[in-house]
Amino acid sequence: MLRMAHGVMPGMGEGVDIHNPTIVNIFRDGLHSNFVWLLGIAVLLSVLLALRSVRAGFNSPEWSEPRGRTILRTGLGLLWILDGILQLQTAMPLGLGSQVLEPSKEAAPTWWHGVINGAVELWNQHPIALAQSVVWLQLGLGLLLLCSSGRTSRIAGRLSAIWALIIWIVTGFGGLFAHAPSFLFGWPGATVFYVMAGLAVAMTADRFPHVYQAVVTRLLGGILILGAILQALPNNGFWSNGQGNALNAMILEMTEVPQPGFLAGLGHIFAGVVRAAGPGINIMLVVWMMATGVGLWRTTVSGFAWPARSLVIGSLAGWVLIQDTGLFGGLATDPNSLILVALIAYSLSPAMRTAAPLALRVSAQTRMAFANAGIALGAAALFVGIVIGGGAILRPVESTLYQAYNGDVSAVSAPAPSFELIDQSGMPYVLADHKGEVVLLSFLDPVCYEECPQIGHQLLDVVKHYTGSGQKVTMVVVAANLQQHSAADIKHFMNEYDLASSPDVYFLNGTTQALSDVCSLYGITVASGGEDGMSIHTNVIYIIDEAGQIRYIVGDDPAPGSAGRASTARVLERAIDSLQK
């Protein structure tokens, strides 16, 4: 009697630990390997830049960057580096799809859910590679912005805007269409301000002071005016006292995540003020946004400095008291919108238009040396990020989701006990008669509509993968329900889930005793008590080679979605391919 099955029971493996140590180690090891390549590329680029400096006689143009652009460029660069560091969180590979992208559908229009679902599936198909790619992309953008004030920084500004726009799109427009939107909650999305800042940095130094002031002050002013209107709408929940106030609810939700005690304390204090004086607080917020917005809209004519200062102070206060900085707990991917709004507002001050460039207390040669090193490192990081991300999309699906849900595949070598049952056509099926073909043996409940159809689809994908390849792979399913296993149940299951479309699929049935005996042979536990007559049974797949030997035991608690299906199929295909080696 064979007792090798060790799969999980349906329902016991629901969800996944996003801090799975195996996946965390793979992610970290990959980052270390990436960094070695990154350093090698950076060294090569540094040499090339140094040779260019030698040919130029180490001459460096005078520092003439407008002060507002220096502040905006530096701040944006630091924010991208912070975002890259946040992407280093070890839960990112398994968590970003399910806990960042998927929840964004709540604030997105239903007609855009398909795009978000596609982004989730793409991430879950390549979670390790894409998580690494995003780290290097954002660190690279940050370094390029910090270390260059000329053409390279303008290119980095454009790339920043493009990358931020992509993020805005795949996250459902940053809450633009959310119920009860508020500028204080991040509307119209932090990435909108990244796009705005990136495009501003992309301007040439001579155009920046005038175009930036004229365009961005009015853009920000318009956003604030619309924000004031949204804040004033009676149906958005900002005018009530007590727990029902939307602002109070948002603050309390943000303070629930793990964070420094003093920060949560500040949030609780302000939430208490909102509960006690909701209408009064909301009047102040509406007036502040409307007055500041109108003031910004008029700044290019009036020259007033107070609107920019008002926005800086108000945004910093809101970033701490309402947005809770966005740096702690959960899976923070950026520090929320208001810190970047404050940066843009500060660089928009009318005084910045005529302010002299910041004085640098280093020689031109020293500045060039540091700039070359930073640009080389940033360009290398950007290149590595693009190669990893682009290459991942072109490669087969990762096995990451399978590993997260099931662990490693067990390699064994033992004769497969033979048995005789009846297939879906009423013909005898004897396992020992099928030597010369690879058999994927599984045990599925013919009345199940949860895990079993998913497993069936995974196996069918593998069978179809090898069709016409010269290697015969068949899918053999034994009915794993000792109460409901009629021929009609099996026929319905196969038709419902498209298993009848392949001649290499066998769904086996027999008497209750015969099925029980086969399950015992392979260590499959089957019990009644599931919903709607479904059984509770071990989920496991045996891979039997052409000689009739069990070579692998594959536990299969199905990971969700098409990415999970493809991940398991990839694991099975790798195991089958290894049989030929």
Q: Average pLDDT of the chain?
A: 91
Q: What is the CATH number of the domain that holds 431?
A: 3.40.30.10
**Are 26 and 120 contained in the same domain?**
yes
Please choose, from the candidates 53, 4, 89, the residue with its C-alpha nearest in 3D space to the C-alpha of residue 373.
53
pLDDT given for residue 257 in this prediction: 86
Identify the domain containing residue 415 by its residue range: 400-578
**Are 43 and 93 contained in the same domain?**
yes
For residue 7, is pLDDT > 90?
no
Domain count, the chain: 2
pLDDT given for residue 326 in this prediction: 86
**Are 174 and 248 contained in the same domain?**
yes
**Are 411 and 316 contained in the same domain?**
no
Contacts of 569 (CB under 8 A, 6+ apart): 397, 458, 461, 462, 465
For residue 225, is pLDDT > 80?
yes
Judge whether 448 lies within some domain: yes
pLDDT digits (tens, 9 = 90+) for 14-58: 467 899 999 999 999 999 999 999 999 999 999 998 888 777 665
What share of the chain has pLDDT > 90, as a percent?
Answer: 75
Judge whether 12 lies within some domain: no
Judge whether 33 lies within some domain: yes
Provide the 8-state DSSP code for 105.
G
Judge whether 6 lies within some domain: no
Looking at 394, 418, 439, the residue that finishes a domain is 394
Q: Which two tokens stand for residue 498?
A: 């498209």
For residue 12, is pLDDT > 50?
no
pLDDT digits (tens, 9 = 90+) for 63-110: 578 899 999 999 999 999 999 999 999 999 999 998 899 999 988 999
Q: Which two tokens stand for residue 546?
A: 């052409």
pLDDT given for residue 475 in this prediction: 97
Confidence of residue 177 (pLDDT cuts 50, 70, 90): confident
Q: Which phi and psi angles does 148 have, rounded to 5°? A: -135, 140
pLDDT given for residue 519 in this prediction: 95
pLDDT digits (tens, 9 = 90+) for 325-338: 988 877 889 999 99
**Are 309 and 248 contained in the same domain?**
yes
List the single range of 85-99, 153-167, 187-201, 249-263 with lowest mean pLDDT: 249-263
**Are 539 and 476 contained in the same domain?**
yes
543: helix, strand or coil? strand
pLDDT given for residue 154 in this prediction: 95
pLDDT given for residue 10 in this prediction: 32
The reported pTM is 0.90
Looking at 360, 394, 428, the residue that finishes a domain is 394
**Are 385 and 463 contained in the same domain?**
no
Are 101 and 169 a contacting pair, CB within 8 Å?
A: no
Find the length of the chain.
581
**Are 52 and 170 contained in the same domain?**
yes
Are 449 and 536 a contacting pair, CB within 8 Å?
A: no
Judge whether 364 lies within some domain: yes
pLDDT given for residue 1 in this prediction: 35
For residue 6, is pLDDT > 60?
no
Contacts of 364 (CB under 8 A, 6+ apart): 58, 59, 60, 62
Judge whether 343 lies within some domain: yes
Helix axes 151-170, 190-201, angle to 10 degrees: 160
Judge whether 460 lies within some domain: yes
For residue 431, is pLDDT > 50?
yes
Distance between terminal CA atoms of the chain?
29
Judge whether 4 lies within some domain: no
For residue 384, is pLDDT > 70?
yes
Looking at 334, 359, 394, the residue that finishes a domain is 394
**Are 384 and 406 contained in the same domain?**
no
Q: How many CB atoms lie within 10 A of CB 364?
A: 14
